[in-house]
Structure 1
Amino acid sequence: MYKLEQETEADGWEVEALYDLCFAPGRTALSSYRLREGVRTIAALSLVLRDEGGVLAAAIRYWPVRVGADDVLLLGPIAVHPTRQGEGLGALLMTESLDLARNLDWDRVLLVGDAPYYNRFGFTKLEGVVMPPPTNPDRVLGLSLRQDAWRGVQGQVERAACFAPNGTLP
Structure 2
Amino acid sequence: MIVIDREAPSDVGRREALLDRAMGQARFLKTSARVRDGRRPAEGLSLVARDGDALVGTVRLWHAAVPSNDGLRPVLLLGPLAVEPSRQGDGIGSRLMEAALARAAALGHAAVILVGDAPYYARFGFSAEPTGDLRLPGPYERHRLLARELVPGALAGTAGLLVPTGAPAEAEPTAEAVFGTAGQVGPRRAAG
Q: Over the residues paired in the alignment, what is the CA RMSD in angstroms?
A: 1.2
Which residue does the alignment assign to 2:177?
none
SS in 2 for 1:109: strand
1:90-126 per-position Cα deviation (integer Å, ceiling 9, x unaligned)? 0000111101100000000000001011011000102
Partner SS, residue 157 of structure 2: coil
Maintained 8 Å contact 2:61/2:79: yes
For the residues of structure 2 that align with 1:10 and 1:71, how far apart are their CA atoms? 29
The answer for the alignment partner of 1:49 in structure 2 is: 49
Residue 87 of structure 1 aligns to a residue in which SS?
coil
SS in 1 for 2:163: strand
Match of 2:171 in 1: none
Instruction: Check conservation: 2:62, 2:166, Cα contact below 8 A.
Output: no
Does the C-alpha gap of structure 1 residues 115 and 9 become closer, same or farther in structure 2, counting only changes over 3 Å?
same
Instruction: Confirm whether residue 159 of structure 1 aligns to residue 159 of structure 2.
Output: no
Task: List runs of 5+ in structure 2 lacking aligned partners.
Answer: 169-192
Rg: which structure is higher? 2
Q: Identity across aligned pairs (percent)?
A: 39
Mapped to 2, the partners of 1:85 and 1:33 lie a distance apart of: 22
Measure how far apart 1:34 and its partner are: 1.2
What is the match of residue 77 of structure 1? 80
Partner SS for 1:77: coil
User: Greater shift after overlay, 27-36 or 108-117?
Assistant: 27-36
1:121 counterpart = 2:120: no
- Secondary structure of the equivalent of 2:74? strand
Confirm or deny that 1:100 pairs with 2:99: no
Between the aligned partners of 2:157 and 2:77, the Cα distance in structure 1 is: 18
- TM-score (norm: length of structure 2): 0.81
Give me the whole-angstrom Cα distance separating, in 2, the residues matched to 1:147 and 1:43: 23
Structure 1, unpaired ranges of 5+: 164-170
Q: Is the 8 A contact 1:73 1:106 kept in 2?
A: yes
Aligned-partner Cα distance in 2 for 1:47–1:161? 17
Q: Quote the residue 2:18 is aligned against.
A: 18
Q: TM-score, normalised by structure 1?
A: 0.91
Contact 2:4 2:95 in 1 (8 A): no
Q: Given residue 63 of structure 1, which amino acid in structure 2 is its aligned partner?
A: W
Alpha-carbon shift at residue 162 of structure 1 (Å): 3.7
Question: Deviation of residue 161 (structure 1)?
Answer: 4.8
